[in-house]
């Protein structure tokens, strides 16, 4: 196999089976989700229609709610009812909400505390040796897996002699700023040990 080392590793570790198998399982387990969604939407519309046609004592209360949906109050407590005024008020409100006053400096180094020494930072960025990668893999929980259909850590320890170089190459390519495949970073959690 050829290509970036992390993508090669990801292709090698991809679970057996294909999308057709997954689609068949999905339909057997959940049924036709599009039909289920359509039926649920029809049920909601029918319920809304029953509520609108209900002439019980709650009808006046529902009418008040409908009127309230079409009106808005501004800071002064006055009600606005025209669509144009509501539009102007919405633009004013969200413009003030999502705008900030210009600042003279965005130097975040003044805010973020310096917890690492330059030597500590260099150590964290240093490319690990294969023994360090092996130690990490063998210290992982044996029952953990990257996904429900992924390989558990027991697989990696059992097959270490066979896959060690591929795993190490993938780790090295990560430290050399290779692009990670989207499937690998979907649930990527990085743990940095206390120094």
Domain residues of the chain, as ranges? 116-190
Is a pLDDT exceeding 90 seen at residue 14?
no
Q: Residue 190: left if φ>0, alpha if ψ -120 to 50, beta else—which one?
A: beta
Residue 134 banded pLDDT, cuts 50, 70, 90: very high
Cβ neighbour number for residue 5 with a 10 Å cutoff: 19
Distance CA(184)–CA(189), nearest Å, equals 10
Distance CA(125)–CA(133), nearest Å, equals 14
- Give 72's strand partners: 80
Token output for 106: 């965005």
Residues in the chain: 195
Distance CA(171)–CA(194), nearest Å, equals 21
Is a pLDDT exceeding 80 seen at residue 125?
yes
**Sign of the C-alpha dihedral computed for residues 152, 157, 161 and 165 taken in this order:** positive
Token output for 103: 């600042």
What DSSP letter does each residue of 160-180 carry, written as one string? HHHHHHHHHHHHHHHHTTPPP
Residue 76 banded pLDDT, cuts 50, 70, 90: low
pLDDT in tens, 154-179: 888 888 999 899 889 888 888 887 77
Is a pLDDT exceeding 60 seen at residue 89?
yes
pLDDT in tens, 21-35: 667 767 777 777 888
């Amino acid at each position: 196999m050829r290509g970036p080392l992390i993508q090669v590793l990801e292709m090698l570790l991809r679970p057996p089976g294909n999308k057709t198998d997954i689609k068949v399982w999905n339909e057997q387990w959940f049924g036709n989700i599009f039909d289920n969604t359509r039926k649920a939407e029809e049920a909601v519309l029918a319920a809304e229609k029953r509520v609108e046609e209900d002439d019980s004592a709650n009808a006046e209360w529902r009418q008040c709610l409908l009127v309230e949906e079409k009106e808005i109050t501004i800071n002064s407590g006055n009600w606005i009812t025209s669509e144009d005024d509501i539009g102007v008020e919405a633009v004013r409100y969200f413009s003030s909400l999502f705008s900030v006053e210009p600042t003279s400096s965005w130097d975040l180094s003044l805010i973020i505390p310096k917890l690492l020494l330059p030597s500590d930072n260099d150590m964290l960025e240093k490319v690990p040796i294969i023994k360090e990668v092996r130690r990490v893999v063998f210290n992982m929980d044996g029952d953990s897996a990257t996904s429900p259909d992924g390989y558990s850590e027991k697989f990696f320890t059992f097959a270490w002699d066979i896959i060690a170089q591929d795993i190490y190459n993938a780790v090295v390519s990560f430290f050399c700023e290779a692009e990670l495949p989207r499937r690998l970073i979907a649930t990527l959690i990085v743990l940095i040990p206390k120094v």
